[in-house]
Amino acid sequence: MFCYWGAQVREGFGLLQAAVKHDKCEIRSVCPNSKSAFQDISAGRSFVGFIRDGKVSVLRLRGENCDQDGKLKQLQLKNDRIRSIVCGGAGAVLLAYGGKVLIMDKSTVCSPLKGLENRQVIQIACGDQHSMALTREGQLFVWGDNTHGQLGLKKAQPRSLSAPQGVESLCGVPLAQISAGGDHSFVLSLSGVVFGWGKNSAGQLGLGDTTDRRVPTVVNSLNQKKTVSISCGGEHTATLSKGGTVFTFGSGGFGQLGHNSFKDEHYPRVVAELWGSKVSQVTCGRSHTLVSVESSKVIYSFGCGMQGKLGNGEMTKQSVPFPVDLSTKCGHAYMIEKLIAGENHSLTLFFKKLGNESKPNSSRGILTLDNRMIDRWVSGSDSWKVKKKDINTVFSSAASLNGSFLKTSCDEHYQTSEEHCGLDFDLVKASFAKLSNNERLISEVVKVVQQTLLPSLNPNPAGVEALRIYLLLPELIRGLQGQQRTELTGALAYKILDLNPAALKMLEMYWSKLPDNLLKNLVDLFQKESAMLIGRIAVVKLDSNIEKHLKKFVRILHMVYQVSRSVHRDITKSDFIIHEVNGLQDVLQTINEDVNNMPLFYFPEQIETLVAHQNYYNKILKNLISLPCIFNLEAKCSYMKNRVWKQGYLPLTLRRTALLEDCFSQLRTASKQPLAGYWLAVFYTEDMKNTVTDVNKRDFFLNVFKELCAPESQLLMDNDNKTLSWFPTKIRVEKENYFLFGILCGLAFNNNSVVNLPFPLALFKKLLNVKPCLEDLIEFSPHLGTSLGSILDYSDDVKEMDLFFTITWDGTEVELDPAEPGKVVTNYNRNKFVDKYVDYILNKSVEEVFEEFKRGFFNACDRSLVEMFEPEELRGVLVGNEEYDWDILKKNTTYEGSFHAEHPTIISFWEVFDELTPTEKKSFLLFITGFEKVPILGMSAVKMRVGTLYKLTQDHLPEALTCHALLYLPVYQNKETLRAKVIEAINHKRGFWEE
């Protein structure tokens, strides 16, 4: 049964064998005499269409050029049975069982829509001059007029299309509903995200303006409103949220928005008069709106009341909802199935209530993967032909997969946003595990994913839901083995890196919100595949495909590493390290040695092959080092140590008595060009030697940094404990000195020299563009930093502390918030106060001198080498550490000449060494290596060798060659003599200050 009201129309629409009853307010009800009920009804500007038993009848409505209705006409559709009809401005679109789409023109001639023959369409929508179709796999097709961009295609598309075309920007978004208005379009996703596009002259897109949109645009103000349906009118739009809340926006000139106003609304606004009514349906006509409340069987209308289309006896426009005066007979026996609002007509389709059943759900959704489907595939209840078809549909469509596994408990999928993906990962893991256990099923899935799904992924997705595929596929791939796993991982990596920057940023946000076990799975996937490829490089040489895939894998691994660092996850650095890199460096070192020691009898072909391999490995390592998370510390240091010096030597000829003056003068001249590719060579005027030796260089760095960091240099300021230094806020020397200071630090780094640089970790963070924090201030100034921390932890009102944003640092009063001098610190702004305090001391107050230092530092060293280290590692490379494990030194010592571990002199030496004070042991390390601290790799990196000094008197002191950690000992007659000479040697002023 159906009821109708509005403009005058042929009695009962001319339906045969139908009883028409007249009620007050000119509402008529039509009850068919036959057993076949109405399946669907639609009303447009020119036609009203009815479906009964799969057959379609249409009635041409009277218009400007015709003052009476036509006759009801049954369409000739051959063998097509129709399940849905939508009438538009001039014609109609029909949807047959099986998904076929037919077009009815203004002459009521029907023909199949060309271009969708092989598609199974599940929903159709029709506007004034444009139409939409949604397929079972979730793809949206559009055709018709495109004057206002209502087709959602790119700007370069024509003003109209006769053949359907896919809306690329919505590929991957799992759609639940489509709707077409006068000249605008809307779609709704499974997670309640609303997209609109087309004409926006009255704000009918809900975007806050009146600018037309030519591509689907998210209506952000409706995000997380749990939208379950949308309806477009001529120039207005209505949405319905779960729970029954109605939002309307757009043209309000006839009151069709229901806001007790006749103004347009550019943003979605709640229809307040319906608040609490639990509306179950909403539909928009040309200039009026209908809503129904299922629980009370009441229909409300508002908007243009001309010709009685509001159904309440009023012919004027109404801006608030009023009940439609339906016959009480209809309300008792029938339930409301569908509301239809046309140009000048309103209809309600009912179904007869036989028991306690709810109204039938005639809408159809896209195909998604769920447990029941997987269970059918695994159990064998479906034929292989059916399984294969379903697999192809689901796994070839990003939209289908993105609409699967939604976390519907507590409506969590409606909370989908840039921070919440809406997926139930427990369900994802369980489902993919079932598939992976069936070899035939998973092989078919892999084939479809590789051949169809991945090539179809859109690099410019319209919404966050389209990014779910990049969270689902790693979980699927994890269950694969061998070549399948590698190929799919490679294809996925390419698609991830092909995403536009905004989408990639959103994906990283999703990664940051993953549970630790899932993020670890992602790390494992790309780490293991990267390790496998690196391992193959040594076997399958000069393979450009391996090189290309590896670069992609490692880049994604580095992205995940950056994400895990930013959110302080429990995933450790070691989870990213690929130890095969160490082996790759060993191979390169061997090749380098072969190239350097190439025999003269090598043929040109042999030389060419060897050099080609050297270039190949160098190129791979250079690419890898730019993404250093895969390198362990040993590999980083090895790479740094073994790199090729292409620029040669940078000579410094110095006087011992004018060390800083001479080196600054020569560096000032040399730094006019970058110094990163140079190996430092130090000569002393007093020695009259021109031999390049590391001994001189280490002595130089030892003593020049002692001068630079001494209070007399006035270059730095010390902390309260005189243990650490920082840049001063008041410059007492030439600003250029900080540039030259930075050059010396850069040269020390580039020359693998450990120096005395007593700075907090903040310096090394700043060099790596990592923002210093409160912990860094605590390291430099424990008292101040701890006090600031106590402000954050204070449980009572911070105002009691009587603190202000006015502080004093290095003798200068500073306003941390210049816009509001003297602002009081409160519980509300204390975090901001501490952040600004830390930022001022470690950043703003020293910005000028630090930038000079940084400029000098990177003038003298390769930025890419510096950036492969973490701040803690960079400090260790430059400064070393104080983890003095003397047992390791003893264990790793080797002996030359007549010495061996059981030689009496060696036994006495270690006995003497064990009896030295901690300070004397450190002096010995300086004596043997030229460094005061332990290198970053620990004491195991100090490979001391002990050789014999022959035919010398007992008065001869031990000698050391620091560049090789080589100690020469005479064969002393007794332990006491050995002790005296060792202590004299290590306490002797050495290097520049030798007498």
Positions marked catalytic: 963
CA distance 963 to 699: 11
Q: Which of 420, 421, 388 is nearest to 404 (CA)?
A: 421
CA distance 886 to 918: 10
The CA-based angle 845-846-851, given to 5 degrees, is: 140
CA distance 202 to 287: 13
> Got the DSSP string for 107-164?
T--EEEPTT-TT--EEEEEE-SSEEEEEETTS-EEEEEE-TTSTT---TTS-SEEEEE
Burial class (CB in 10 A: 0-12, 13-18, 19+), 788: buried
Helices (H), 325-397: 328-333, 371-379, 384-395
CA distance 136 to 399: 10
Q: Is 13 helix (H, G, I), strand (E, B) or coil?
A: helix
Q: At what angle do helices 633-642 and 604-625 cross, to 10 degrees?
A: 130
Secondary structure percentages of the chain, helix, strand, coil, to 5: 40, 20, 40
Place of tokens 């003003």: 159
The answer to whether 38 and 50 have CB atoms below 8 angstroms apart is yes
Place of tokens 């976390």: 407
Which DSSP helix (H) or strand (E) runs through 841? helix 830-842
The answer to whether 424 and 415 have CB atoms below 8 angstroms apart is no
Q: Which of 286, 357, 296 is nearest to 331 (CA)?
A: 296
Helices (H), 422-515: 425-436, 439-448, 454-456, 469-477, 482-497, 501-513
**Tokens of residue 264, six digits:** 């347009």
The answer to whether 968 and 947 have CB atoms below 8 angstroms apart is yes
The answer to whether 436 and 444 have CB atoms below 8 angstroms apart is no
650, 669, 878 from 666: Cα distances, Å = 10, 5, 22
The residues near 484 (Cβ < 8 Å, ≥ 6 apart) are: 446
The CA-based angle 666-668-669, given to 5 degrees, is: 70
Q: At what angle do helices 482-497 and 516-537 cross, to 10 degrees?
A: 110
- Is the four-CA dihedral 466, 470, 475, 476 of positive or negative sign? positive
**Tokens of residue 910, six digits:** 């270690």
Cα distance between the two ends of the chain: 115
Q: Where are the beta strands (DSSP E) in 685-739?
A: 717-718, 725-726
Q: In what order do the strands lie in the sheet with 160-166?
A: 121-126, 130-135, 140-145, 160-166
CA distance 781 to 788: 11
CA distance 647 to 626: 21
Cα 544 → chain centroid: 28
Q: Where are the beta strands (DSSP E) in 584-709?
A: 649-654, 679-684
Q: Residue 811's CB: how many other CB atoms inside 10 A?
A: 7
